[in-house]
Chain A
């Protein structure tokens, strides 16, 4: 005769069995490196399982997925971009990193067009190999370089590692801050990212530490191939400073068309985060075929007094860019900055800008945006400055300039300004113009070719922003501007 105890025991067994069975249902697929296209709860579980994630993170992903399902059909349509509807069931949401066997064996196997661009940018041969995914030989061991850097950073307590590693090594930090700035249901693409994010970077700067080197996701330290749903989290403890570089000037090819990344920055009291991006994803060919859709949510929160977050971006790539790096100025004296150069050529479309949300007294923000459109491209600045009632003496200065090259492109400015405090001072200026014939004539009479002249003039137009880039990037970025506009004149 079974006692109540034994009954409950066997119930537990049954539950355990059924649950395990369910688990096996997708574990069979686990052995494959590539999973079928499409998105469902099992895929989310699979991604989490592949990464050996703790239960709380799986729950977080599943919660995000449920929210995303609820947003069906709510993918944003307000931006000045156009593309055929995205079939989210036609996307592969997980692919294992490439093994060395799949990689090109040498630079001879790389598209000569890309090699030509590397040359123009002045990238050393060894770096070219890394960039184009050639299997790295023993001499140039990026892993060992990374190890040296990492040791140096660890000494002063800086954590800088892939996101998945942080989940394993520093779960308390990840758990505390993940989604703290960009909540799961923030917007359609951020929500999708929250469910299926692949990998990214995690940075923690301890109190009072000034990070001694520029942190970069580019091959210098971190693993490449973070996947199409990148997730980055940077936390600067009180009194700390960090400068972080994302991307690189070299053209980046990728088989995935949709990239939906999320970047969250948290600056505590007196901390400063400087986040620089150079985005040069494949923009599609000159006829507008192919190219990456770069739909990114980037947001920083100044959580402590006098915290500062500064975004600098040079956007030259991607077929479509949809991105608004923002700053929430939550504490008194916080500072937000946005410096942007967006270049579009051929059939590229960019709808980019920023949001500065002033929530506390004496907060200041500066926006300098330079948009350059050429070819048949469309380039839109879209920005919000909001001064909430409690933001006494808040100050904003915005300047956005558009430069148009050729008669088939578009340059648009869509600023939103909302002020709810009388003591605030908000100024906005915008202009649109073309490269004048006089400027061209002057340069050419000094012996410059048409393309060099355009490059010179454009670099002058963007100077205020380029100056904000870390030194090592600034030189490459200047060359990049010239290359991006090739074929736009003459």
Chain B
């Protein structure tokens, strides 16, 4: 395992120092537009610095951990990732495993895929068919997006999933991102999911650490999604990293006419986690359904931030996020729905509910509506509270212990949002994740 020998005070410093050294080794070196993209992104990051609480979008989430430790980009993949439980769901069409942000062929499975379906890696695609990637990597503006600039500058690999028009996958594609034991390593994956007109697929991202690894790593992932006319994508992101980890992730989604994007973001691991979704309608009649849950205990800080841009008429958004927060955990939900003047007939709903299980847990919520059109229907709602005493009492009169009753109520509380998202195998997988989180309650964090 290679470790960097330069002493840096912060993650920012570590990255500023590493860029010159690592840039020549990053994939796609020599491709003009990519070199420029990386250079520009790096310059913007250098100017803006890390996002901080002074920025409205980061009001509730501070990246103090990134300033406290110098997470440095991992220069190359670990020789062999430790054996661990098989991450991600079973019954997949293909499975790509990335360790420390780089493709791990040995643990990946790619059987023959249906016609019109391509599953490869970013490094391979840049080597063979960079034209497919050009213009598809999302860019950012403003200091609030500095982390995504950092990703653009340092992205070393990621999954590329491409479905031609009309192609359909009946089983999910599983993308697994593992952190090896490298202490204070940082890795930046960039995934590209592109669906042609009428294509349908399910992509499940799992960010984890094998065997509940205690090593603190910083993973900063971006997934760029483009949906063609009438396409439908189900996108699941499960974050179950080790207790010292810092995880920031962003899905940038473009939805063409009549296309539908449905996602579930589950945050249950890491010391600090922020999962962003940034969806934009590029044509009318599209639909976005964003679901999510955050399960926090100890001193975890879990943040879900969403932004849906209604730039075209007659699009629908439904958002539903639920959180369970124990010990000193802090859960954040920020949801912005923006309706442009021309987006008449918009129907947008947003809901956030959090359960506080401890006197020291905290929940922060900011469901925001920005409406510039008059012919719209928009609502949002938020509630925060403890488990209902009557419900608890009812279950206990039926012979359940208090612990069992609480467990059942919490499973039901989170199960509700999963059921609204999906009823099939994907939902089963999510229910199992929640159960796994509840099991840890007995024996410490990763017992």
Contact yes or no, A434 B374, CB < 8 A: yes
Measured between alpha carbons, how far is A410 from B341 in the docked complex, in Å?
8
Residues of B within 8 A of A426 (CB): 382-385
Given contacts A412-B369, A415-B366, contact A428 B383 (CB under 8 A): yes
Cβ-closest chain B residue relative to A423 = B386
The complex places the Cα of A420 from the Cα of B384 at a distance, in Å, of: 10
Q: Which of A53-61, A308-316, A343-351, A400-408 is found at the contact surface with chain B?
A: A400-408
Give bound CA distance, A376 to B56, whole Å: 25
> CB-defined interface of B366-379 with A at 8 Å, one 1/0 digit per residue?
11111111111111
B141 contacts A by Cβ under 8 Å? no
Bound together, the chains give a CA A411 to CA B338 distance in angstroms of 10
Does B359 reach chain A (CB closer than 8 Å)?
A: yes
Q: Name the distance in Å between A272's Cβ and chain B's nearest Cβ.
A: 28
- Could you tell me if B374 and A425 are in contact, using CB atoms closer than 8 angstroms? no
Partner of A420, one of B341, B362, B372: B362
B364 touches which of A405, A406, A418, A433 (Cβ 8 Å) = A418
Residues of A within 8 A of B372 (CB): 409-410
Does B356 make an interface contact (CB < 8 A)?
yes
15 other contacts beyond A416-B364, A418-B60, with CB at 8 A cut-off? A387-B384, A408-B341, A413-B367, A413-B369, A415-B382, A419-B354, A419-B362, A420-B362, A421-B356, A421-B359, A425-B385, A427-B381, A431-B377, A433-B376, A433-B377
Q: Which of B60, B370, B381, B384 contacts A425 (CB 8 A)?
A: B384
A426 to B369, CA, bound (A): 19
Question: Do residues B359 and A407 form an inter-chain contact, with CB atoms below 8 A?
Answer: no
A153 beta carbon closer than 8 Å to chain B: no
B380 at the A/B interface (Cβ < 8 Å)?
yes
Q: Which residue of B lies closest to A80 (CB)?
A: B370
Across the interface, do A416 and B380 meet the contact criterion of CB distance under 8 Å?
Answer: no
Tell yes or no: B233 within 8 A of A by CB: no
The 9 closest A-B pairs by CB, nearest first: A422-B356, A404-B374, A417-B365, A434-B374, A428-B382, A419-B384, A432-B378, A413-B369, A426-B384
In Å, the complex CA distance between A264 and B141 comes to 41
- Does B358 make an interface contact (CB < 8 A)? yes
Instruction: Tell me which residues across on chain B come within 8 A of A428, comparing CB atoms.
Output: 365, 367, 380-383
Please report the C-alpha to C-alpha distance between residue A389 and residue B330 in the assembled complex, in whole angstroms. Answer: 13
Asked if A422 and B359 make an inter-chain contact with CB atoms under 8 angstroms apart, the answer reads yes
Interface string of A419-453 (1 = CB under 8 A from B): 11111111111111110000000000000000000
Judge whether B379 and A431 touch: CB under 8 Å. yes
The minimal Cβ–Cβ distance linking A171 to chain B, given in whole angstroms, is 40
B50 at the binding interface (Cβ < 8 Å):
no
* Cα(A115)–Cα(B379), bound, Å: 41
B53 contacts A by Cβ under 8 Å: no
Residues of B within 8 A of A389 (CB): 359-360
Say whether B371 contacts A412, CB under 8 Å: yes
Q: Which residues of B contact A431 (CB under 8 A)?
A: 377-379
Closest to B59 in A: A416
Q: Which residue of B lies closest to A403 (CB)?
A: B374
Residues of A within 8 A of B371 (CB): 402, 404, 410-412, 432
User: Which of A408, A419, A421 is packed against the most chain B CB atoms within 10 Å?
Assistant: A419
Task: Determine if A419 and B356 form an interchain contact, defined as CB atoms under 8 angstroms apart.
Answer: yes
Given A409-B374, A417-B382, A432 and B369 contact (CB-CB distance below 8 Å):
yes
14 CB < 8 A contacts A-B = A404-B373, A404-B374, A407-B375, A411-B371, A417-B364, A418-B60, A422-B356, A422-B386, A425-B383, A425-B384, A425-B385, A426-B385, A427-B381, A430-B378
Residues in B whose Cβ lies below 8 Å from that of A39: none
B361 on the A face (CB < 8 A): yes
Minimum CB–CB distance from B350 to chain A (whole Å) comes to: 9
Is there a chain B Cβ closer than 8 Å to A414's Cβ? yes
Chain B residues in contact with chain A, CB under 8 A?
56, 59-60, 341, 344, 354, 356-386
Contact A427 B382 (CB under 8 A): yes
**Contact yes or no, A429 B379, CB < 8 A:** yes
* Residues of the A chain whose Cβ atoms lie less than 8 Å from the Cβ of B344: 407
Interface residues of A in 9-34 (CB under 8 A from B): none
A428 vs B384: C-alpha distance in the bound complex, in angstroms? 9
The majority secondary structure among interface residues of chain B is strand
- Looking at the complex, which one of B364, B365, B375, B381 makes contact with A434 (CB distance below 8 Å)? B375
The chain A residue sitting closest to B363, CB to CB, is A419
Given A422-B361, A423-B386, A431-B378, A78 contacting B56 (CB threshold 8 A): yes
Of all chain A residues, the one with the shortest Cβ separation from B326 is A422
Pair B357/A422 contact, Cβ less than 8 Å: yes
Query: Which residues of A have CB within 8 Å of B364?
Result: 416-419
Scoring A407, A413, A420, A432 by chain B CB atoms within 10 A of each residue's CB, the highest score goes to A432
Closest A residue by C-beta to B368? A414
Q: Shortest beta-carbon distance, B301 to chain A, in Å?
A: 13
Partner of A424, one of B366, B377, B379, B384: B384
A432→B381 CA distance, assembly (Å): 12
Q: A412: which of B56, B358, B362, B370 is its contact (CB, 8 Å)? A: B370
Chain A residues within an 8 Å CB radius of B369: 402, 411-413, 430, 432
Q: Contact flags (1/0) for A461-475 with B, using CB distance below 8 Å? A: 000000000000000
B357: chain A residues within 8 A (beta carbon): 422
Q: Is the CB of B380 within 8 A of A413?
A: yes
CB nearest to B360 among chain A residues: A389
Q: In this complex, what residue of B is CB-closest to A411?
A: B371
A14 to chain B, nearest CB (A): 50
From B346, which residue of chain A is reached at the shortest CB distance?
A: A432
The CA-CA distance from A221 to B374 in the complex, in Å, is 43
- Kindly state the separation between the CA atoms of A417 and B364 in the bound complex, as whole angstroms: 5
Separation in Å of the B305 CB from the closest CB of chain A? Answer: 14
Is the Cβ of B368 less than 8 Å from the Cβ of A415? yes
Q: Quick one: which of A78, A387, A389, A426 has the most chain B CB within 10 A?
A: A426
Give Cα distance in the complex from A426 to B385, angstroms. 7
- Quote the shortest CB–CB distance from A417 to chain B (angstroms): 4
Cα distance A410–B337 in the bound complex, in angstroms: 13
> What residues on A are CB-neighbors of B360 within 8 Å?
389, 420
CB pair A414 B366 closer than 8 Å = yes
B59, B341, B363: the one within 8 Å of A407 (CB): B341
Query: Closest Cβ of chain B: how far from A459's Cβ, in Å?
Result: 19
A263 to B39, CA, bound (A): 52
Shortest distance between the CB of A372 and any CB in chain B (Å): 11
Interface residues of A in 240-277 (CB under 8 A from B): none
Query: Could you tell me the distance between the alpha carbons of A87 and B382 in the complex, rounded to whole angstroms?
Result: 41
Q: Which residues of B contact A419 (CB under 8 A)?
A: 354, 356, 362-364, 384
Residues of A within 8 A of B362 (CB): 418-420
A324 to chain B, nearest CB (A): 15
**B73 nearest CB across to chain A (Å):** 34
Instruction: With both chains docked as a complex, state the minimum distance between the C-beta of B109 and any C-beta of chain A, in angstroms.
Output: 44
Contact among B59, B354, B368, B384 for A413, CB-based, below 8 A:
B368
A332 to B165, CA, bound (A): 63
A425 to B426, CA, bound (A): 33
Q: Is the CB of A417 within 8 A of B384?
A: yes
B366 touches A417 (CB 8 A): yes
Determine if B354 and A430 form an interchain contact, defined as CB atoms under 8 angstroms apart.
no
Q: A406 CA to B373 CA in the complex, in Å?
A: 8
Note all chain A residues with C-beta closer than 8 A to B356: 419, 421-422, 424
Taking CB atoms, residues of chain A closer than 8 Å to B361 are 420, 422
- Which residue of chain B is the closest to A406 with respect to CB atoms? B374
In chain A between 361 and 418, which residues have their CB closer than 8 angstroms to a CB of chain B?
387, 389, 402, 404-418
Q: A418-B362, A423-B386 are in contact. Are A407 and B381 (CB under 8 A)?
A: no
**Closest residue of chain A to B333, judged by CB?**
A417
**B-side contacts of A409, CB under 8 Å:** 372, 374
- The smallest beta-carbon distance between B333 and chain A, in angstroms, is 9
